[in-house]
Amino acid sequence: MAAEKALALVLRTIDFSETSVIVTLFTREFGKIGALAKGGRRLKGPFESALDLLALCRVVFLRKSSDALDLLTEAKLERRFRVSEAGLAGLNAAYYVAELLRELTHDNDPHPELFDAADATLAALGRSRGAPGHVVTQHVLRFEFTALRLLGHMPSLDACAECGAPIEPAGRVPFGHTSGGVLCAACRPGKRNVVSLSGPALAVLKQLAEVAPETEEAAAIERNVRGELRGLMKHYIAHLLGHELRTQGMLHEA
């Protein structure tokens, strides 16, 4: 059985015994994996405290059958997520990013570009202590849209999600969570799970769909628009998953 090497983000850890831990990792090379780290709770050993939640590390693991956990044999810390440098808002946002990755991705389905976006977002959140509250919110919004785009869940923003007719943003525009995007006047009647989206919010959505999470030059989003988009994303992602993310309620803008 050949050992695999990967660059990984630690998304979740669960104590398995007095000395071992089960980890969920999002790797650049292999996508999401679940692995057993025997001795992972020991301060000294092959993991050297590299399996802290939200950490970036290089791992070595043995692949198991599809219905069994992989076996993690080595982990070397590359970057620790430091709460003291992230602040509470940054920490809560990082927890949300980790849960979003766990829920939206499938096991053994690699997405290198998504990994890079997640890595950049967590790095930015990890140094956000003292930054204005809207900075953290915008990091989250940009990552959400990057994830939706790369995983094939991007909502339709320029054409009606039902009939494909072009949408001209004039005033408020109906957005159907079930339909998967904006709706024209002809398709709106009778549709469920529809919200009214302002023109400025729709314009920002289109910008977010194109801006990478690590882009520092992205323009600030007005507070009322951020609030509107936060509510939209909460319900859109909950519809995709069939449930609301547990950490969604932890996202609060200072």
Q: Is residue 198 part of a domain?
A: no
33 and 114 share one domain: no
Residues 121 and 219 in one domain: yes
Examine the fold and report which residue of 79, 103, 125 is the final residue of a domain before the chain moves on. 79
Find the CATH number of the domain harbouring 53: 2.40.50.140
Mind giving me the DSSP string for 62-99?
E---TTS-EEEEEEEEEE---HHHHHHHHHHHHHHHHH
User: Does any domain span residue 188?
Assistant: no
Last residue of a domain, one of 79, 113, 140: 79
Does the residue 184 lie in any domain? no
Per-residue pLDDT tens over the stretch 83-103: 999 999 999 999 999 999 999
**Model pTM score:** 0.92
Query: Is there a domain that residue 201 lies in?
Result: no
110 and 225 share one domain? yes
Q: What is the pLDDT of residues 104-120, one digit of tens each?
A: 999 999 999 999 999 99
Tally of structural domains, the chain: 2
| Cα Dmax for the chain | 65
Query: pLDDT class for 48, splitting at 50, 70, 90?
Result: confident
What's the rounded Cα separation, in Å, for the pair 60 and 1? 12
CA–CA separation, 214 vs 121, rounded Å?
7
- Tell me: do 35 and 92 sit in the same domain: no
Whether 11 and 70 map to the same domain: the answer is yes
Of the listed ranges 69-73, 120-124, 127-131, the least confidently predicted one is: 127-131
Q: Which domain holds residue 27?
A: 3-79
| 39: pLDDT strictly greater than 90 | no
